Amino acid sequence: DTGVSQDPRHKITKRGQNVTFRCDPISEHNRLYWYRQTLGQGPEFLTYFQNEAQLEKSRLLSDRFSAERPKGSFSTLEIQRTEQGDSAMYLCASSTTGNEQYFGPGTRLTVT
């Protein structure tokens, strides 16, 4: 399967813990995006990279959130000091510049 992959698929954590998610994009795609989706809503943009460069961050991305794409391939999204409001599906997508975005299966985070 050469699509976008995400790991883990599910994560249950206690409030205050740190969590890290990984995304592997489609191999030839230079852009990688992170979104968050809660029940009954469309995905909300968090941040995106073009190669290694983080080009945009949403104001939704508080200072507890950090994302990296160190070698321009896979990316990680870390949430520090998780809160119950962080419970959501975290979706990663990739694209070539300016083209259609393809999503991975997501990481479902539950903060208890």
Report the distance separating Cα 56 and Cα 3, nearest Å: 23
Whether residue 31 contacts residue 50, with contact meaning beta carbons closer than 8 Å, is answered with yes
Instruction: Examine residue 90 and tell whether it contacts other proteins (CB under 8 A).
Output: no
Instruction: Examine residue 91 and tell whether it contacts other proteins (CB under 8 A).
Output: yes
> Residues 11-50: x/- map of binding to other proteins (CB under 8 A)?
--------------------x-x-x----xxxxxx--x--
Report the distance separating Cα 29 and Cα 93, nearest Å: 10
Q: Cα torsion at 48, 53, 58, 63 (round to 10°)? A: 120
Instruction: Examine residue 1 and tell whether it contacts other proteins (CB under 8 A).
Output: no
- The only residue of 32, 75, 101, 109 in contact with other proteins, by rule CB under 8 A: 101
Which residues in 53-82 contact other proteins (CB under 8 A)? 55-56, 58
For residue 29, what are the CA distances in angstroms to 49, 50, 103?
A: 11, 9, 12
Instruction: Examine residue 106 and tell whether it contacts other proteins (CB under 8 A).
Output: yes
Residue nearer to other proteins on the CB measure, 85 or 98: 98
Whether residue 30 contacts residue 97, with contact meaning beta carbons closer than 8 Å, is answered with yes
Q: Which residues of the shown chain bind other proteins in the complex (CB under 8 A)?
A: 31, 33, 35, 40-45, 48, 55-56, 58, 91, 93, 98, 100-106, 108
